[in-house]
Chains A and B, each alone.
Chain A
Amino acid sequence: MSSVAKIPAPGLMNSPEFRLLIIAVAVFGLMSALSPDRFLSAQNMTSMAFQFPEFAILALAMTLAMMTGGIDLSVVGVANLSAVSAALLLANVAGPEATGAAGVFWLGLAILLALSIGAAAGFINGVLVAKFGLPPILATLGAGLVFTGLAVAFTGGSAVMGFPTAIAVIGNETVFGVPVPLILFAVLAYALHVLLTRTPFGLKVTMFGANPRAAFFAALDIDRIILKVYTIAGMFSAVAGLVIMSRANSAKADYGSSYLLLAVLIAVLGGVNPYGGYGRVIGVILAVLSMQFLSSGLNMLGVSNFARELIWGALLIFVMVINVVDWQALRRRR
């Protein structure tokens, strides 16, 4: 406040995305050097491409919520509720006997059901934030418990299994050698990028996130923006839920419970400002890649899951400390 705010040069070198590119390349290089024959193998590349889309899609949902200065702590709950609902339909109504055209029909119906539930759950989050004025942390925390709780109640806490074989397409198949989950992630990432940068809605989201007060005085329909943001986030989470369901060939209320931290971590690592107003999809993609390289590499080096959790947490704090200097500059400019 005492010193005149220095506006950082918008050069390539200064952007958080460039720093991320360096991090991603450095992690990739380090892991390649440490275990070259295993990390660089085609098998590892394919398995990584199957692994990351499920939490990467959750990170995209988180990114959208964070753009408004909010947060969505219910992403995993929404994903599991959607997956469990779709799974109950597939296992109890369709059954594993449904093959061929019938299988495809039920798959389509299950996807529709999961997406509708995701949208409805997201809409509920949006209503709680926009209409009831609850802080996003509290709204999505409470709603997330309800969604997870419903998934537990529907299944009695056990896994739902026994789907038509067509379900494997979402999580386990490849198209021209490209894993389907990766294609889904790419499509959603591109869609979010276009939504945020090329549409009036994206501009409004950014403006609201950067300064809610100014957005209010600029007569933006804030309630509508928030409702849409959380509904879209809910639908993204539902897609992630479907991928998880297909890959595990089952659905359960507590799958992917570590993904919440991971989604927040990736969004923040990707340069998204948790105070709102700044975030780029390319940053999130680079952050996802860094995390997956790190995760797979550590796995090959025989590092335990617990140590990986420790490293993720440390990385999140480290990146925040670096970024906070930039955000302080941003906030001073306001």
Chain B
Amino acid sequence: MSDLLKRNETLVALVIVAFCVVATLADPLFFTVTTLSDLLRASIVIGILAVGCMLVLVSGGIDVSFTAVAVFAMYATTIFTLGVWPDMPWPLVFLLSMGIGAALGAFNALFIAGFGLPTLIVTLATLSIFRGFLLTFVGSDRISALPPEMRNFSRMVVARGTTEAGNFYALPWAFAALVAVIVLTWFILQRTMLGRSIYALGGSVESARRIGVNVRATQIFVYVYVGALAGLAGILHGAMGRMADPFSLVGLELSVIAAVVLGGARLTGGYGTITGTLLGVGLIVLVQNSLIVLGIPSSWQTATIGLLILLGTGIPAYQAKRAAARAG
């Protein structure tokens, strides 16, 4: 029981519940299906990105380039589809975007796994390489005339309707993509040797190597997988927003990393759960969309997210440091 209380997940869940209670007291309209569907819709793209980002943190690295990968894959896929095969079925469009994302992830992996460079600096560099290449050579115009299949996809909804109060709500099928990503990643992390290798790698590279983990192959998988997820998130973002905007998404990476570390993943590697990550995403999405309900002006949003990161990671770190000091 005391173990459960000490976990980041519990803390974040409590903060979310408190947030919702206060928000409902302040504005009864907050507690409706409409708000829920809005929040779920807002969490699709950031959720997929966060699951990928969590995997990188577990493996002991950090990736700040995934938003650039997402927007690159989305925009390049749109351009290619419009130019070559405008009627390409949407599953193929999605696969193409994921393939481009995976290729860019492999580019990251080349320098991280191949040359052993620090992950932060490599991905900071590739962030500007991908973005610079996209805007210089692929294009810098916003495209609102998306391929018809992408528009069709964006119209497919799981549930839609109007509440008694007359508020409209809708949950798009894109949400299923988030669920699929969660299930697949959970399976890889918990049920395969590969997943256990990723945790081992994050715990200690040298120990992982000595128990027979192929360090290089595991790292390559992590960055390629994250690239593919970013490609998926990017194309979903484009389809749901019904616009291919090469300037979007980049800048979101800090919020995503914030969500993941709030969920208990550690930058030093080896720790991180899907549940925690999703709770972190939930909190960040709440702060981004509903801070105003609590009476906090939206101009305080950035400061609030920063403060949440410091509190959510500082308190456990401080406890760990004190425990280590007591143990001598």
Q: How far is the CB of A75 from chain B (nearest CB, A)?
A: 13
Query: Given known contacts A141-B257, A147-B306, what 11 new A-B pairs fall within 8 Å (CB)?
Result: A71-B120, A137-B62, A146-B302, A157-B299, A264-B121, A304-B136, A310-B131, A316-B121, A316-B125, A320-B117, A320-B118
Cβ-defined contact, A149 with B135, below 8 A: no
Report Cα–Cα, A261/B310, bound state, in Å.
Answer: 22
Does residue A217 face the partner (Cβ distance < 8 Å to B)?
no
Among B62, B129, B307, residue most surrounded by chain A Cβ atoms (within 10 Å): B129
Chain A residues lying within 8 Å of B127, measured Cβ to Cβ, are 261, 313
Chain B residues lying within 8 Å of A304, measured Cβ to Cβ, are 135-136
- Answer whether A306 and B318 are a contact pair too, CB < 8 Å, given A141-B254, A145-B309: no
Cβ-defined contact, B124 with A261, below 8 A: yes
Does residue A36 face the partner (Cβ distance < 8 Å to B)?
no
Q: Kindly report which residue of chain B lies nearest to residue A145, judged by CB atoms.
A: B306
- Answer whether A134 and B314 are a contact pair too, CB < 8 Å, given A141-B309, A304-B136, A316-B124: yes
Residue of A71, A141, A144, A313 near B126 (CB, 8 A) is A313
Among A137, A141, A275, residue most surrounded by chain B Cβ atoms (within 10 Å): A141
Residue of B128, B133, B299, B310 near A153 (CB, 8 A) is B299
Within 8 A of B (CB), among A291-322: 304, 306-314, 316-317, 320-321
Give the size range of A's interface with the partner.
35 or more
Does residue B140 face the partner (Cβ distance < 8 Å to A)?
yes
Instruction: Provide the A136-176 mask, 1 if CB < 8 A to any CB of B, else 0.
Output: 01110111111111101100110000000000000000000
Q: Kindly report which residue of chain B lies nearest to residue A77, judged by CB atoms.
A: B306
Q: How far is the CB of A12 from chain B (nearest CB, A)?
A: 26
Chain B residues lying within 8 Å of A144, measured Cβ to Cβ, are 306
Q: How far is the CB of A24 from chain B (nearest CB, A)?
A: 20
Chain A residues lying within 8 Å of B306, measured Cβ to Cβ, are 142-149
Cβ-defined contact, A148 with B302, below 8 A: yes
Cβ-defined contact, B317 with A132, below 8 A: yes
Report Cα–Cα, A312/B320, bound state, in Å.
Answer: 39
Cβ-defined contact, A310 with B132, below 8 A: yes
Report Cα–Cα, A146/B314, bound state, in Å.
Answer: 14
- Answer whether A317 and B299 are a contact pair too, CB < 8 Å, given A310-B133, A310-B136: no
Report Cα–Cα, A148/B117, bound state, in Å.
Answer: 29
Cβ-defined contact, A309 with B128, below 8 A: yes
Report Cα–Cα, A128/B116, bound state, in Å.
Answer: 28
Write the residues of chain A forming the contact surface with B, with a CB cutoff of 8 angstroms.
71, 128, 131-135, 137-139, 141-150, 152-153, 156-157, 261, 264-265, 268, 274-275, 304, 306-314, 316-317, 320-321, 324, 328
Interface of A is mostly: helix
Cβ-defined contact, B128 with A312, below 8 A: yes
Q: Kindly report which residue of chain A lies nearest to residue B296, judged by CB atoms.
A: A153
Cβ-defined contact, B303 with A152, below 8 A: yes
Cβ-defined contact, A128 with B62, below 8 A: no
Q: How far is the CB of B304 from chain A (nearest CB, A)?
A: 7
Report Cα–Cα, A62/B104, bound state, in Å.
Answer: 28
Within 8 A of A (CB), among B41-94: 62
Does residue B273 face the partner (Cβ distance < 8 Å to A)?
no
Does residue B258 face the partner (Cβ distance < 8 Å to A)?
yes
Report Cα–Cα, A149/B300, bound state, in Å.
Answer: 6
Contacts A/B (CB < 8 Å), 9 sampled: A137-B62, A142-B310, A145-B254, A152-B299, A264-B121, A268-B121, A306-B132, A321-B115, A324-B115
Report Cα–Cα, A138/B128, bound state, in Å.
Answer: 21
Q: How far is the CB of B56 from chain A (nearest CB, A)?
A: 13
Q: Kindly report which residue of chain A lies nearest to residue B62, judged by CB atoms.
A: A137
Chain B residues lying within 8 Å of A137, measured Cβ to Cβ, are 62, 120, 267
Does residue B268 face the partner (Cβ distance < 8 Å to A)?
yes
Report Cα–Cα, A113/B305, bound state, in Å.
Answer: 26
Chain B residues lying within 8 Å of A141, measured Cβ to Cβ, are 254, 257, 309
Cβ-defined contact, B111 with A150, below 8 A: no
Q: Kindly report which residue of chain B lies nearest to residue A142, judged by CB atoms.
A: B309
Does residue B261 face the partner (Cβ distance < 8 Å to A)?
yes
Among B115, B124, B126, B140, residue most surrounded by chain A Cβ atoms (within 10 Å): B124
Q: How far is the CB of A45 from chain B (nearest CB, A)?
A: 27
Chain B residues lying within 8 Å of A320, measured Cβ to Cβ, are 111, 115, 117-118, 121-122, 125
Chain B residues lying within 8 Å of A309, measured Cβ to Cβ, are 128-129, 131-132, 135
Cβ-defined contact, B314 with A132, below 8 A: yes
Q: Kindly report which residue of chain B lies nearest to residue A314, judged by CB atoms.
A: B129
Report Cα–Cα, A133/B266, bound state, in Å.
Answer: 12
- Answer whether A146 and B132 are a contact pair too, CB < 8 Å, given A71-B120, A128-B310, A274-B121: no
Cβ-defined contact, A152 with B302, below 8 A: yes
Cβ-defined contact, A307 with B309, below 8 A: no
- Answer whether A324 and B116 are a contact pair too, CB < 8 Å, given A134-B313, A141-B257, A313-B128: yes
Chain A residues lying within 8 Å of B117, measured Cβ to Cβ, are 317, 320-321, 324
Q: Kindly report which residue of chain A lies nearest to residue B301, judged by CB atoms.
A: A149
Chain B residues lying within 8 Å of A156, measured Cβ to Cβ, are 299
Cβ-defined contact, B122 with A317, below 8 A: yes
Report Cα–Cα, A316/B65, bound state, in Å.
Answer: 14
Cβ-defined contact, A275 with B301, below 8 A: no
Cβ-defined contact, B125 with A143, below 8 A: no
Q: How far is the CB of A230 from chain B (nearest CB, A)?
A: 14
Does residue B321 face the partner (Cβ distance < 8 Å to A)?
yes
Q: How far is the CB of B119 from chain A (nearest CB, A)?
A: 10
Cβ-defined contact, A149 with B305, below 8 A: yes
